[in-house]
Amino acid sequence: MGGDRRGLLTPWTVGWPIRYPPTAEEVANALRSIFPAATECAHGAHGINVSLTFVPAGSVGTVNVTGASDDAVRDCIVRAVRGGHVPAYTGPPRDANFAL
């Protein structure tokens, strides 16, 4: 009874953290960290909407920018947003958005 469990892979034996998706506070902190750079890219323009997805690794996956005056502004905002992160987690991607 019991047997040899040395080969059993569990989150505890491999050090893989099982963590719930980011909290609203963790997402808000990530957005606050990228907002200044994204705002600088907008050069004072308003009406720009940014939607993004955090992936389980904690990094930003997809980024969509609407309302930017040109491709250079949009690309700058995308680069700024890609610098955001939340703690790595287990679960589906998490969407977020903000306006400039």
pLDDT in tens, 54-99: 999 999 999 999 999 999 999 999 999 999 999 999 889 999 999 9
Residue 5: pLDDT above 60? no
Q: Is 0.85 surpassed by the pTM of this model?
A: no
Q: All domains of the chain, ordered by start, with CATH? A: 19-99 (3.30.1150)
Residue 25: pLDDT above 70? yes
Give the model's confidence band at 19: pLDDT under 50 very low, under 70 low, under 90 confident, else very high.
Answer: confident
Give the model's confidence band at 9: pLDDT under 50 very low, under 70 low, under 90 confident, else very high.
Answer: very low
CA-to-CA distance for 3 and 44, rounded, in angstroms?
Answer: 67
Instruction: Give the per-residue pLDDT at 23.
Output: 93
- Classified as helix, coil or strand, 8 is coil
CA-to-CA distance for 14 and 99, rounded, in angstroms?
Answer: 41
> Residues for the chain: how many in total?
100
